[in-house]
Structure formats: C-alpha cells, structure tokens
Chains A and B, each alone.
Chain A
Amino acid sequence: EVQLVQSGAEVIEPGESLKISCQVSGYSFNNYWIAWVRQMPGKGLEWMGAIYPRDSDTKYSPSFQGQVIISADKSINTAYLQWNTLQASDTAMYYCARHGPGLDSWGQGTLVTVSS
C-alpha cells in the first residue's frame, strides 16, 4: 500500500526557519515525482514545486521559487519542504503528493501556523 506520512503540525514565530517532512512507503521512492501543494485557509490548491528523488531534479512554481527549498533523502524515503524565514502569510496546510501520473497518493497534510 502506497503511503505518504507527513510530519506534525507546527506553530512558528515570524522570522523563524522550518523544515517539514513527507516519508513514503509502499513503492519505489526514486521513480516518482513528489510534489508539494499549499492550501491557505479557505482557499484553493497551489502547486509549489516537485522533486524527482532519483536525481534530485527539482522544479518550482515562480510564486515559490526562492521562498522555499524542496529536497529529498533517498536513504530514508523522505521528501522535505523548508523555509529559512517564515512570515504570517505562510500560514497554511501543506500537502505532499506522489505524481503517478496525476497526484495519485497524498499525505495527510501538515498545518503550519506562523504567529507571534
């Protein structure tokens, strides 16, 4: 069974850094793109970027390029999304998903709240 398990909810102060994770199981991690998707409160889905773990090829939406870093650790079948400096406007639910084609398996989401 394909599973994507994301790290838990975070409450972070503005200006801090954060790295959230997405650990996969049930398939070959190397062979599928993993995408990250943002959903702000009450809003739609936004594609942030994706990584191909086999060679770490990474693509970003222009809206998120330079704002986040997507990475992967093949040794532990885990993808990451990180910020160096969070702002209140980064408050959202973040999902990872496997592209199989189409995003056919999703993590449960990580709620990130940026607040002082």
Chain B
Amino acid sequence: EIVMTQSPATLSVSPGERATLSCRASKSVSSSLAWYQQKPGQAPRLLISGASTRATGIPARFSGSGSGTEFTLTVSSLQSEDFAVYYCQQYNNWPWTFGQGTKVEIK
C-alpha cells in the first residue's frame, strides 16, 4: 500500500498570502495524484487531478505540480473561502490512498 504523507499538518496563513502544501508518496505514483478541499459539514471537492489539471470551475489561484513522489498544491492568494482542510490522494496503484490532510487556518 502506498502511504501518502502531507505536510504541514496545519498551515496558518493571512488572507491574500500564498499557501504551499506538500504531499509525498512512499513510492512513485507517476502523475496519478489528486487534491481535494473539504469544508466543515461538506463533502470533499476535487481541485486538481493528474497532479496539475484543475477541475471544472476551480479558480486559477489553485495550482498543482510534481510527479513521482513529490507533489505541491499552491494557492497563490488565499481568499476567505479557501480556509479548509486539503487532502491529496493517489490513484496509480490499488488500493488508492489519501494523505492525512493539511488544515489551512487563518493567521
């Protein structure tokens, strides 16, 4: 089973600042990597698939990069609605697996 490790666990950022979230896979997942955003009481929402392809309707301030074992989600200028928990997930190998999440909170 591929273990996905996200860092940091919590990220404190001021509105308008840049946020950089990391996700590391225990073995290569090629570009089969997705990022999700989850707000309290809501289902997760897909942000990025294929490591760097924004999902439909996702603002351009969200960008993904990386391949193999190291991935990054960047939010260029945090808006109030972006404070949430973010998860990465690999779908290159069975079983698919999620990271433990990064909470982005207001500084």
Residues in chain A within 8 A of chain B (CB atoms): 35, 37, 44-47, 49-50, 59-62, 95, 97, 99-104, 106-109
Contact partner, A103, options B1, B36, B56, B101, Cβ 8 Å: B36
A61 adjacent to B43 (CB under 8 Å):
no
The total of chain B residues at the interface (CB under 8 A) is: 26
A–B complex contacts, Cβ < 8 Å, 27 sampled? A35-B96, A37-B44, A44-B87, A44-B98, A44-B99, A44-B100, A44-B101, A45-B36, A45-B38, A45-B98, A47-B95, A47-B97, A49-B95, A50-B96, A59-B95, A61-B95, A61-B96, A61-B97, A100-B49, A101-B34, A102-B34, A102-B55, A103-B34, A104-B49, A106-B45, A107-B43, A108-B43
Determine the main DSSP class of A at the interface with B.
Answer: strand
Q: CA A7 – CA B97 in complex, angstroms? A: 25
Given contacts A44-B98, A47-B96, A50-B96, contact A102 B87 (CB under 8 A): no
Residues on A with C-beta less than 8 A from B43 are: 95, 106-109
Which B residue's beta carbon lies closest to that of A61?
B95
Residues in chain B within 8 A of chain A (CB atoms): 1, 32, 34, 36, 38, 43-46, 48-50, 55-56, 85, 87, 89, 91, 94-101
Q: CA A101 – CA B92 in complex, angstroms? A: 11
Q: CA A45 – CA B99 in complex, angstroms? A: 8
B101 adjacent to A104 (CB under 8 Å):
no
Which B residue's beta carbon lies closest to that of A50?
B96
Residues on B with C-beta less than 8 A from A62 are: 1, 95
Residues on A with C-beta less than 8 A from B34 are: 101-103
Given contacts A44-B100, A45-B98, A45-B101, contact A102 B91 (CB under 8 A): yes
A102 adjacent to B97 (CB under 8 Å):
no
Residues on A with C-beta less than 8 A from B95 are: 47, 49, 59-62
Q: CA A102 – CA B48 in complex, angstroms? A: 8
Residues on B with C-beta less than 8 A from A59 are: 94-95
Contact partner, B46, options A44, A47, A102, Cβ 8 Å: A102
